[in-house]
């Protein structure tokens, strides 16, 4: 803002722009480097680091969470819920807070001292099929871990097997479960890729993170040559650098 005021004032008064710290053609790059330096200068201040983590998790959200009572009609509330996007630490837009927290977990942790490669909604050509109109469809499972030939599907069903009430369709739960079972069948009939599953019902449990870790480690146990597989949080410096780069 200060830079813009100086630029506007100088231009309007036909005066030379004053010299400022981040002047020149590379203002954005210099400014980002300055902010990065500030982030990395607090490596020993644990309380401040926690606040930085919280900031990074919530950064770039483009909405204010609202409840049904904030809307005049249920239709307006449903439309609002369907329009929401959530931003993970690496800037990837996902469709639910569940997915955001899952993606952030794998971003913020290493497995046996190795960062975890995870792709969101990567097209799975091997799962392609023809729809009723003969058109080729390529599914996009929620999360893909290429190092382990592993997919994670986070189903949007609760403990009763129902989808959220704002899902569209005459019978959205029936339609969703049908597509879910088709995907599962594709996984059962292949010899390469592994599927692990979680659900919104799981996410609401207090031990969801433990469930996620347990299912992931069991799935890759036979794929890994390492004897001991342990998730280890990235250090503050590692996380800031990773998030900043991505």
In the prediction, which pLDDT does 225 show? 59
The position carrying tokens 């342990």 is 230
Q: What is the mean pLDDT of residues 101-118?
A: 91
In the prediction, which pLDDT does 2 show? 86
Each residue's pLDDT tens digit, 180-239: 998 999 999 999 999 999 999 999 999 999 999 999 999 988 666 556 788 998 888 888
In the prediction, which pLDDT does 105 show? 94
In the prediction, which pLDDT does 199 show? 96
Percentage of the chain exceeding pLDDT 70: 93
pLDDT higher than threshold 80 for residue 127:
yes
> What is the CA 194 to chain-centroid distance, rounded?
21
pLDDT higher than threshold 90 for residue 158:
yes
pTM of the predicted protein model:
0.78
- Interatomic CA distance for residues 179 and 157, integer angstroms: 13
pLDDT higher than threshold 60 for residue 72:
yes
> What is the CA 43 to chain-centroid distance, rounded?
25
Retrieve residue 92's tokens: 């990837």
pLDDT higher than threshold 80 for residue 246:
no
In the prediction, which pLDDT does 47 show? 87
- Interatomic CA distance for residues 137 and 145, integer angstroms: 21
Percentage of the chain exceeding pLDDT 90: 43
| 218-223 own/partner pairs: CB under 8 Å, 24+ apart | 219/148, 219/150, 219/194, 220/145, 220/148, 220/150, 220/194, 223/148, 223/149, 223/150, 223/194
């Amino acid at each position: 803002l200060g830079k813009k005021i100086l630029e506007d004032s100088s231009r309007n008064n036909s005066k030379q722009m004053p010299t400022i710290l981040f002047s020149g053609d590379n203002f954005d790059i210099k400014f980002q480097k300055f902010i990065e330096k500030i982030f990395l200068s607090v490596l020993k201040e644990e309380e401040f680091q926690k606040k930085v983590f919280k900031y990074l998790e919530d950064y770039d959200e483009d909405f204010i969470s609202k409840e049904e009572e904030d809307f005049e009609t249920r239709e307006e509330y449903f439309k609002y819920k369907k329009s929401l996007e959530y931003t993970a630490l690496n800037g990837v837009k996902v469709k639910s807070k569940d997915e955001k927290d899952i993606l952030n977990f794998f971003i913020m942790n290493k497995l046996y001292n190795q960062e975890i490669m995870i792709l969101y909604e990567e097209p799975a050509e091997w799962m392609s099929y023809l729809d009723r109109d003969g058109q080729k469809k390529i599914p996009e499972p929620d999360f893909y871990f290429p190092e382990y030939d592993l997919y994670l599907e986070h189903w949007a069903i609760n403990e009763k097997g129902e989808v959220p009430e704002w899902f569209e369709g005459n019978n959205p739960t029936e339609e969703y479960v049908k597509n879910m079972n088709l995907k599962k069948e594709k996984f059962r009939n292949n010899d390469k890729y592994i599927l692990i599953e979680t659900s919104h019902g799981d996410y609401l449990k207090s031990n969801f993170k433990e469930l996620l870790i347990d299912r992931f480690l069991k799935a890759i146990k036979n794929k890994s040559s390492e004897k001991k597989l342990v998730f280890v949080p990235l250090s503050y410096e590692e996380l800031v650098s990773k998030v900043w780069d991505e």
